Amino acid sequence: MSKQTQITTDELRERLNAGEKLQLIDVREHEEVIQGMIDGARHIPMGEIPGRLDELDPNAPMVLICRSGYRSERVREYLSQNGYNNCLNMEGGMIDWVEGE
């Protein structure tokens, strides 16, 4: 069985509504997050991730978020190569999240 690497916006909503504690990391650029972020998400632009790994808990479940799911998947791959094995990419990104509201 392959390890889950993706989470849908519906699954994420269910887990957050159930009170699950997740690290939500929004990797979009500053001008993008002005339009809104998921409550509780932490903004770390994609290009700053390598220099800010100390802000991430490698043992806590993490969900990576961007506009469409492409950049956050690149970040998920990078983190998994660096020992962060509990990362999920939010499929469809904020485009799908906003549509699901």
- Positions marked active-site: 66
| Residue 40 vs residues 2, 20, 24, 87: alpha-carbon distances, Å | 29, 12, 7, 16
Could you tell me whether strands 23-26 and 6-7 are parallel, antiparallel, or unpaired per DSSP bridges? unpaired
